[in-house]
Amino acid sequence: MAVLVLADHKDGGITQPTRSTVAAAAALGDVHVLLVGEGAAAAAPAAARIAGVAKVLTGAEAPVLAEPLAALLVSMAPGYSHLLAPASASGKNVMPRVAALLDVQILSDISGVVDADTFIRPIYAGNAMATVKSSDAKKVITVRAASFDPAPAEGGSASVEAAPTAADPGLSTFLGAEIVKSERPELTAARIVISGGRAMASSENFAIIEKVADILGAAVGASRAAVDAGYAPNDMQVGQTGKIVAPELYIAVGISGAIQHLAGMKDSKVIVAINKDEEAPIFQVADYGLVADLFKAVPELEAELAK
Amino acid sequence: MDFALTPQQEALQDAIGRICADLGDDYWLMRDRQGGFPTELHQALAKGGWLGVCMPEDVGGAGLGITEAALMMQTIAQSGAGMSGASAIHMNIFGLQPVVVFGTEEQKQRMLPPLIEGRERACFAVTEPNTGLDTTQLKTRAERRGDRYVVHGQKVWISTAQVAEKMLLLARTTPAEQARKRTEGLSLFYTDFDRSRIEVREIEKMGRKAVDSNQVFIDGLEIPVEDRIGEEGQGFRYILHGMNPERILIAAEAAGLGHLAVSRAAAYAKERVVFGRPIGQNQAIQHPLAECWMELEAARLMTMNAAWRYDSGLECGAQANAAKYLAAEAGFKACQQAVMTHGGFGYAKEYHVERYLRESMIPRIAPVSPQLILSFVAERVLGLPKSY
Amino acid sequence: MKVLVPVKRVVDYNVKVRVKADGSGVETANVKMSMNPFDEIAVEEAVRLREKGVAGEIVAVSCGPNAAQEQLRTALAMGADRGILVEHDGVLEPLAVAKLLKTIVAKEGPALVILGKQAIDDDMSATGQMLAALLGWGQGTFASKIEKEGESLRVTREVDGGLETVSLKLPAIVTTDLRLNEPRYASLPNIMKARKKPIETLKPADLGVDPTPRLSVLKVEEPAKRQAGKKVGSVQELVEKLRNEAKVI
């Protein structure tokens, strides 16, 4: 049986977490990708080119709501052994609803596939990894994208067809969205991330990190403490209850390294920490640690990188 | 014999712990450097209804016992606030017990709610420069003139007199020669702290700068008769009522401070690596801390025992005094050990343990000296002849 | 309107959990347990709705061991009116909890159920959505703001890239995100009052639900340990290493 991946897409492109989900799904069967929401048709060609995708299905162009989308997925479920989505806000919103409608227990945020029934997932903020085997006939899964190398964006040539329609149960209405527009790469997709902690002391001071991000083409993140203090908006939060990232390079500036933050970035390939407290826990996980005042070190870093 | 805390007592400890967690080490370090009453703690506890823990329900209190108050005070001290936090709150929780027991309904309704709500703070003016433990010999006199008393005298070691709105005052209304008994002739008042008639001079101390201690000079203070608690001449008897509970609370605070110091030392000993191993792996570091923990726990359990006896209406003088002695000595020893465990950093203010050590002298000295407690136990428990 | 708030007993937020040597799970004996922090936010939101005159009775419910009564007492001390314990020792997955809660909803008839967005032990982030599915109700997950508008609920949600606003017909499900509110501390008068508030105990069998898990845990391991790296002496050295050693820039 085939497996279905519910894709996240933006501006005609497929998100990197979705490609990671395709990679995870490829181990389980032929991959079909479902695109719904505004811009679905425009993103279909990009989806069709992802290596390993066999078929792309495009659905309604209306703003995505959990209830009608879950109804659609449930109607399509008989054709699939596994239904997957990235563990994005969207995937986490709809997939548990789908699972309950199918009377199966969801497998949230998997970081490994052992076989068609067995998966690895983090528990206790990633302080433990559980290998779980599902006894359900159908599996509903969200995927921790940072744990799977994304399927290449080119190489596939899938067919594109219309997804079936499903009735909207009319339980909710979409009123609007305030999406932050940014030139910078998206946090979960960026190759390099530089994050600021509470030691940044103000939102204005984040500008010194942003200058480094601009030179590196990096995304900018923040610790929960910085977000709670109002120095950064919530969509920049990296951590157990924020975004989980695993870039090639993660630079933690003025971040102490609380467990909850580490849970969001400890799978980064290379971690750099800049902190004036040499006892800060972040140094336990940093590949390279610089004990220095960030207000001196970061501008120096900007200058050094510009050379 | 059930030693377990009730679910309500656990909820109490948890709730107080959370309030105290908002004020971290940096706050108490700052308070110790700069001084200044910890209004933030006082107001947060007042808002949660905690100042009324032992007060009757009909004045807005919770009507709980000394056991709950002791748990509260231990939790405050142990949270990192030490004596700076505990002493700021202490007087307001139990000091007005004489009003509760001996005050009129009118007085209770007038005097207690503002205290419980945190709108007023009270200081306790008993000790005098020449009268420490020998309370009945105090000299501050209150002369009845019609519908008021006029007070002249001096008090010393009056905590929070810089900020208090009210004063619980013990003064002599009948000259000592004329009193029928040595323990009579003193009267108790709860009145406005009229700063036009009272001069307050702060005493610079070894520690606990946040809770000011003062010399107080009373010069013609006028107290309306309505502010006298109970009968004239019976004041000493009234404050005796509060002495055992006070010892129990100080004991709880000392135990909390000691446990705080031990936990800081243990945490440091796990992290600090010398000669390739955490220093906590060395017996010379871990054994003294273990001993401190045991002694603190023994003192704490004696404190809980004394509290239970008091709440059950049993005689508790020996236990309350013993608890104060044991907890104060164990607390002091624990704070010393914490400084030594930290090595050089134990001497640095930013590691906090030196502050705990400075504060740990207070429960040893006050409200009664270790020597007086030893004599008390010798006489009252062992039946040995009075030595003074 | 009546509001139901499910609360879960979990290992306290501050505890660093240890994996058992035999790999069967995580060490929870003698470890501090507390209410799931997101559930505290849910209770707080219910109490605030009542203070605004929007909510009426608040019923807290917990599915778990007998000791979960402590968490119900905390909810009562925060302002909930009544507690229900569905007592069960052993693992309860979100699907089972959702089924149990569905029967409680049928008994209690709330117009709104507010849940935490995820439990910090299993991090499943599923119960609210599953309950909504079983009830056929709308769901507003990861809520950072809730407002009642007539017979609907306007929910602002935290999503990737920003915020989204939806309107849900009541009755509905909401799951709380971190910034919805800051929970109050239980005050002493409320702790005292909580003692007298009733807690009803039920069992899954009473509710006709089979709580058997669908997932079996084959093993629990520590994540691969990261080695502590090295300290560099300067920004220049850092950039040189990132360029030539790690080759990431």
Which residues in chain A are contacts of C169 at CB distance < 8 A? 170-172
Q: Residue B76: CB partners within 8 Å, gap ≥ 6?
A: B16, B20, B41, B85, B86, B89, B253, B256
- Torsional class of C5: left (φ above 0), alpha (ψ -120 to 50), beta (otherwise): beta
Q: State whether residue A306 sits within 8 Å of chain C by CB.
A: no
Are B62 and C189 inside 8 Å of each other by CB? yes
Domain(s) labelled CATH 3.40.50.620 in chain A stretch across 2-162
Question: B84: how many CB neighbours lie within 10 A of its CB?
Answer: 29
Instruction: Count how many residues are written for chain B.
Output: 388
First to last CA, chain A: 54
CATH topology of domain C3-244: Rossmann fold (3.40.50)
Q: Which residue in C has a C-alpha nearest to residue B47's C-alpha?
A: C187
pLDDT of residue A307: 83
CA–CA dist A193, A188 (Å, integer): 9
Domain residue ranges of chain C, discontinuous segments joined by +: 3-244
**Residue A186: pLDDT band by 50, 70, 90 thresholds?**
confident
CA distance C202 to C72: 14
Domain end: B183, B213, B235, which one? Answer: B235
The residue length of chain A stands at: 307
B225 and B244, same domain (yes or no): no
What is the pLDDT, as a whole number, of residue C223? 85
How many CB pairs below 8 A link B and C?
Answer: 43
Measured in whole angstroms, the distance separating CA B66 from the mean position of its chain's CA atoms is: 13
Cα angle, residue A257 at apex, residues A255 and A258 outer, rounded to 5°? 120
CATH number at residue B325: 1.20.140.10
Q: How far apart are CA A90 and CA C129, in angstroms?
A: 12
Q: What is the pLDDT of residue A203?
A: 95
Alpha carbons A194 and B149: distance in angstroms, whole number = 72
The verdict on domain A192-306 having CATH code 3.40.640.10 is no
| Residue B190 near residue B17 (C-beta atoms within 8 A) | no
Query: From CA B327, how far away is CA C108, in angstroms rounded?
Result: 51
Is the pLDDT reported for residue C129 higher than 80?
yes
Q: Beta partners for B215?
A: B156, B201
Buried b (16+ CB within 10 A) or exposed e, A43-59: bbebbbbbbbbbbbbbb
pTM over 0.90: no
- Look at C220 and A130 and tell me if their CB atoms are within 8 Å: yes
A-C C-beta contacts closer than 8 Å: 251
Picking from C70, C190, C192, the nearest residue to B7 by CB comes out as C70
Measured CA to CA, the distance from residue A275 to residue A131 in angstroms comes to: 36
pLDDT band for position A240 (50/70/90)? confident
Question: Does a cis peptide bond (omega within 30 degrees of 0) precede residue B367?
Answer: yes
Cα B30 from Cα B22, distance rounded (Å): 14
Q: Mark yes or no for CB contact A107/C169 under 8 Å.
A: no
Which band of pLDDT confidence, cut at 50, 70 and 90, is reported for residue C132? very high
CATH 3.40.50.620 fits A2-162, yes or no: yes
Mutate one of C14, C19, C36, C164 to test the A interface: name it (highest A CB count within 10 A).
Answer: C164
Q: What is the pLDDT of residue A234?
A: 86
Distance (Å) from the alpha carbon of C74 to chain B's nearest alpha carbon: 7
Confirm if C209 and C103 have CB atoms less than 8 A apart. yes
Q: Is A127 annotated as a binding residue?
A: no
HEC assignment per residue over A197-249: CHHHCCCCCHHHHHHHHHHHCCEEEECHHHHHCCCCCHHHEECCCCECCCCCE
Nearest CA to A180 among A13, A41, A10? A10
Counting beta carbons within 10 angstroms of the beta carbon of residue A202, is it exposed (0 to 12), middle (13 to 18) or buried (19 or more)?
exposed
Q: Which one, of B77, B90, B81, B92, lies nearest residue B40 by Cα?
A: B81
- Cβ under 8 Å to C: A residues 206-225: 216, 224
Report the distance separating Cα B310 and Cα B246, nearest Å.
Answer: 11
Do B97 and B227 share a structural domain?
no
List the one residue out of B176, B88, B96 whose CA is nearest residue B131: B176
Pick from B98, B116, B134: which residue ends a domain? B116
The average confidence (pLDDT) of chain C is: 95
Report CA torsion sign: B113, B118, B119, B125.
Answer: positive
B49 contact residues in C (CB cutoff 8 A): 187-190
Residue of C nearest to B54 (CA): C188
**Contact assignment for A288 to C246 by CB distance below 8 Å:** yes
Say if residue B163 is in the same domain as residue B293: no
Which member of C95, C230, C239 has the closest CB to residue A304?
C239
Which residues 148-167 in chain A show a CB within 8 A of chain C?
none
Query: Which residues 6+ apart lie within 8 Å of A262 measured at CB?
Result: A126, A281, A282, A285
**E strand spans, B193-266:** 198-202, 213-224, 228-229
- For C120, the closest chain A residue by CA position comes to A124
Q: How far is B267 from chain C (nearest CA, A)?
A: 14
- Alpha carbon of C188: minimum distance to chain B alpha carbons (Å): 5
> pLDDT value at position A181?
67
CB contact under 8 A, C191 and B53: no
Q: Is residue B1 part of a domain?
A: no
Whole-number Å distance between alpha carbons of C137 and C139:
7
Q: Is the distance from CB of A35 to CB of A9 less than 8 angstroms?
A: yes
Q: Distance between CA atoms of A192 and B94, rounded to whole angstroms? A: 59
d(CA A305, CA A286): 20
Please, what is the end-to-end C-alpha distance for chain C in angstroms? 57
Closest chain C residue to the Cα of A259, Cα to Cα: C16
CA distance B70 to chain C (A): 15
Pairing of strands B228-229, B186-192: antiparallel
Q: How many domains does chain B have?
A: 3
Write out the H or E segment, with its range, that includes residue B21. Answer: helix B7-21
- pLDDT band with cut points at 50, 70 and 90 for residue C196: very high
Distance CA(A220)–CA(A212), nearest Å, equals 9
Beta carbons within 10 angstroms of residue C116's beta carbon? 28
Q: With contact defined as beta carbons under 8 Å apart, do C175 and C139 qualify?
A: yes
A104 token code pair: 């199966």
Per-residue pLDDT tens listing for chain B (388 residues) = 889 999 899 999 999 999 999 998 889 999 999 999 999 999 999 999 999 999 999 999 999 999 999 999 999 999 999 999 999 999 888 889 899 999 999 999 999 999 999 999 999 999 999 887 788 889 999 999 999 999 999 999 999 999 999 999 999 999 988 989 888 999 999 999 999 999 999 999 999 999 999 999 999 999 999 999 999 999 999 998 889 999 999 999 999 999 999 999 999 999 888 898 999 999 999 999 999 999 999 999 999 999 999 999 999 999 999 999 999 999 999 999 999 999 999 999 989 999 999 999 999 999 999 999 999 999 999 999 999 9
Same domain, yes or no, for B88 and B146? Answer: no
Distance CA(B385)–CA(C161), nearest Å, equals 81
pLDDT range class, residue C224, cuts 50, 70, 90: confident
- CATH code (residue B204): 2.40.110.10
C187/B7 touch (CB, cutoff 8 Å), yes or no: no
pLDDT of residue A184: 82
Confidence grade of residue C174 (pLDDT, cut at 50, 70, 90) = very high
Task: Report yes or no: C85 and C199 within 8 Å, Cβ to Cβ.
Answer: yes
Contact residues, chain B to chain C, C-beta under 8 Å: 7-8, 10-12, 14-15, 18-19, 47-50, 52-53, 62, 64
The reply to whether residue B7 touches residue C192, judged by beta carbons under 8 angstroms, is no
Q: Contacts of residue A130 in chain C, CB cutoff 8 Å?
A: 217, 219-220
What integer is the mean pLDDT of A29-49?
96
Q: What is the rounded average pLDDT for all residues in chain A?
A: 93
Ramachandran bin of B165, using left for φ above 0, alpha for ψ from -120 to 50, beta for the remaining angles: alpha
Q: Which of chain C's residues have a Cβ under 8 Å away from the Cβ of A101?
A: 133
**Domain assignment present for B209:** yes
A276 touches chain C (CB under 8 A): no
Residues in chain C within 8 Å Cβ distance of B48: 185-188
Q: What 3-state class would DSSP assign to C4? A: strand
Q: Annotated binding residue at A261?
A: yes
- Can you give the residue range of the structural domain that contains B132? 122-235
CB contact under 8 A, C188 and B15: yes
* A97 interfaces chain C, CB cutoff of 8 Å: yes
Q: Which residues of A touch C19 (CB under 8 A)?
A: 127-128
Give the Cα separation of B77 and B370 in Å (integer).
Answer: 21
What long-range pairs does B282-287 form, CB within 8 A, spacing at least 24? B285/B341
Say whether both B242 and B336 belong to one domain: yes
Is A272 one of the annotated binding-site residues? no
The per-residue pLDDT for range C37-46, each reduced to its tens digit, is 999 999 999 9
Q: Please provide the distance, in angstroms rounded to a whole number, between the alpha carbons at the two ends of chain B.
A: 38
Cβ atoms < 10 Å from Cβ of A214: 14
For chain A, helix (H) and strand (E) counts, in that order, are 8, 18
List the single residue in C118, C137, C216 with the smallest CB-CB distance to A132: C216
Contact A175 C166 (CB under 8 A): yes
Residue from the list C73, C186, C192 with its beta carbon closest to the beta carbon of B7: C73
Name, in order, each residue with C-beta under 8 angstroms of A196's C-beta and a sequence gap of 6 or more: A205, A206, A209, A220, A221, A222, A223, A226, A231, A232, A253, A254, A255
Q: What are the backbone angles phi and psi of residue A269, rounded to the nearest 5°?
A: -65, -50
Has A16 been labeled as part of a binding site?
no
Q: In the complex, which subunits touch B with 3 or more CB pairs below 8 angstroms?
A: C
Residues of C in contact with A285 (CB under 8 A): 226, 228
Of B235, B267, B298, the one marking the end of a domain is B235
Nearest to A104 among C131, C144, C214 (CB): C214
The vertex-B53 CA angle with B47 and B58, nearest 5°, equals 90
Could C130 and A99 be called an inter-chain contact, meaning their C-beta atoms sit closer than 8 Å?
yes
When pLDDT is averaged across residues A56-83 and rounded to a whole number, the result is 96
C10 or B179: which carries more pLDDT confidence? C10
- pLDDT band of C160, cuts 50, 70, 90: confident
**SS in 3 state form for B262-323?**
HHHHHHHHHHCEECCEEHHHCHHHHHHHHHHHHHHHHHHHHHHHHHHHHHCCCCCHHHHHHH
Residue pair C98/C156 in contact by the 8 Å Cβ criterion: no
- Per-residue pLDDT tens over the stretch C76-118: 999 999 999 999 999 999 999 999 999 999 999 999 999 999 9
- Secondary structure (3-state) at B345: helix
Do residues C7 and C73 touch, judged by C-beta distance below 8 A?
Answer: no
Q: Is C172 exposed, middle or buried (0-12, 13-18, 19+ CB in 10 A)?
A: buried
CA distance B35 to B209: 5
Query: Residue C77 and residue B47: Cβ atoms within 8 Å?
Result: no
Residue B2 lies in a domain: no
d(CA A53, CA A43): 14
The amino acid occupying position B319 is Q
Element (H, E) at C161: none
